[in-house]
Amino acid sequence: MPGTYDLDRQGLAELLDGEPGFRAAQVWEGLYRRGERPAEMTTLPLALRDRLEEELGAQLDEAHRRTADDGATIKWLFSLAGGAQIETVLMAYRDRVTVCVSTQAGCAMNCQFCATGQAGFTRQLSTGEILEQVMVARRAAEPRRLSNVVFMGMGEPLANYDNLWAAIERLHDDVGMSARHLTVSTVGIVPGIKRLAVASLPVNLAVSLHAANDELRDELVPINRRYPLAVLQEACAAYIAATRRRLSFEWALIDGVNDTRKDARELAGIARDLGAHVNLIPLNPTPGYAVRGTPAAGVGDFRDQLRSLGVNATVRSTRGVEIDAACGQLAGSTPVTLGVPGVLADGQH
């Protein structure tokens, strides 16, 4: 059975074969523009609503939902067909409402400090499974309007390129979101960055850098052994040249590991060359990584050093740490809560 958001227009038209010709457009508008489930499409005859509800089933089964930050952050745990589980996080800020979606169940990239990486890879998500996370979050955000989608949940988006791209096109063409409100975050899959550079929509690109020399990056982000920094920087430059979009680097500050003056200088060199913005994230705790995040004073110092070296750097607000919803904490199950209080400030999501 196809999921609600897996069918393209053609597939929907085939499903509605025998119905009046205008039905496909009507259902499509209901699904994407208004975010309705078939059962809610009151302009359709009841029998058709029932049939669509049955044949276009929801793919995400809510297993658990937690809220934090006085309700401003919601994290869902969804069960999928076959038993895999994923997480999705909705974050409401003063000026925007952002959903952070997963693109894979688990992840094969093996970054030590990331809970998803520690858990390993289960499977790719379909386009419909990616989109349905957005549509569920969009409803939960009401009456506010969901403004941004970041592909920064579980998984490596560029290792599921085709399904990711189909979801991006649907969000742009059918849900009506602009490319500048969509952000793809990657560990640095160079062929994927090159494909994205020549794609038809200029989405924002975030690269999870975390180290600016190959020796340290090989250790923290193992894919660096395949796509080392020089090759990654070249792909980033090509992306900027082709899309005219500002690139951002994510840098999780790890106490004594990547927060020294030398790290700041190396990072500044790369960021300045590319005109990239740096998003600093104090490392969030995960069960499988013993080193802690840089304390707040050190985070501020690191930011100031980058600024004095001419780099545009900000500290990303941490949302939902106490419900394991923050960056790097998504594990697709109900993990042990580490009980670190969240910090409420507006940031870069």
Residues that bind ligand SAH (CB under 6 A): 109, 111, 113-114, 152, 156, 185-187, 208, 250, 252, 281, 283-284, 286, 327-328
Q: Which residue is nearest to ligand SAH (CB)?
A: 328
| Nearest distance in Å: CB 250, ligand SAH | 4
| Nearest distance in Å: CB 144, ligand SAH | 24
Measured from the CB atom, is 132 or 250 closer to ligand SAH? Answer: 250
The CB-side HSE value for 50 (13 A sphere, CA atoms) comes to 3
Closest to 51 measured CA to CA, from 21, 22, 17: 17
Measured from the CB atom, is 224 or 286 closer to ligand SAH? Answer: 286
| Nearest distance in Å: CB 206, ligand SAH | 6
- Using alpha carbons only, how large is the chain's radius of gyration in Å? 21
| Nearest distance in Å: CB 187, ligand SAH | 4
Which candidate in 100, 107, 111, 327 is catalytic? 327
Measured from the CB atom, is 190 or 283 closer to ligand SAH? Answer: 283
Cis previous bond, 157, omega within 30? no
Measured from the CB atom, is 97 or 299 closer to ligand SAH? Answer: 299
Active site includes 327? yes
| Nearest distance in Å: CB 251, ligand SAH | 8
Measured from the CB atom, is 19 or 255 closer to ligand SAH? Answer: 255
Q: At what angle do helices 261-274 and 229-243 cross, to 10 degrees?
A: 40
How many CB atoms are closer than 10 A to CB 143? 4
SS3 297: helix
Parallel, antiparallel, or unpaired for β 121-124 and 61-68? unpaired
The CB-side HSE value for 84 (13 A sphere, CA atoms) comes to 24
Closest to 153 measured CA to CA, from 206, 76, 101: 101
Find out whether 293 and 309 touch, Cβ atoms under 8 Å.
Answer: no
Measured from the CB atom, is 281 or 299 closer to ligand SAH? Answer: 281
What single-letter DSSP state applies at residue 97? E
Cis previous bond, 143, omega within 30? yes
Say which residue the tokens 């390993």 belong to. 120
Closest to 57 measured CA to CA, from 4, 7, 134: 4
| Nearest distance in Å: CB 64, ligand SAH | 20
- Round to the nearest angstrom and report the end-to-end CA distance of the chain: 34
Which candidate in 87, 132, 156, 250 is catalytic? 87
Just list the catalytic residues.
87, 327
